[in-house]
Amino acid sequence: MSRRIIVSSLAGATVLGAAGAYAFVARASESGPALRGATAVYEAPDAGRDGSLAFTARASDDSGVRSVKVLAWPDSMKPAPAVKEMAAVESAACAPAGDGAATCRYAVPVTGADAAGSPGGVWHIAVLVTAKDGDTAFVPRAAAFSTV
């Protein structure tokens, strides 16, 4: 998997996990950006084929969604990533879904070498939603998956 997923103390680390995602609802404030229905799905690589990590969520704000940044991080990393670390990570691809909402997806391949070099255990997906009016919502544990 790409080094671009993990930043700061995990630069160069890779993501690994097994199926096991959950939905999480986050709201920064009643009028700020919100994240709903976040899921992470992991497929392990096997002989001759890469695996993948896919994240999907619905982001919304009254002003519309400018960006959704996504960072996978292992539970063994303490503390969780901070908002300032999210500026350097990649964005999910978001498609308008009406009324200031967007359906956002992020996917990366996972090679066998990436998987072998990754820490085991539970991983989380941190998300930073930025609205068109500049408001933000940070969800350090928007979704999770575990390694096998």
Per-residue pLDDT, 7: 29
- Average pLDDT of the residues in 42-52: 91
Q: Which domains does the chain have, with CATH numbers?
A: 3-146 (2.60.40)
Per-residue pLDDT, 8: 26
Residue 24: pLDDT above 90? Answer: no
CA 124 to each of CA 31, 43, 46, 61: distance values in angstroms, whole numbers, following the listed order: 26, 15, 22, 23
With a threshold of 0.85, does the pTM exceed it?
no
User: What's the rounded mean pLDDT across residues 76-99?
Assistant: 94
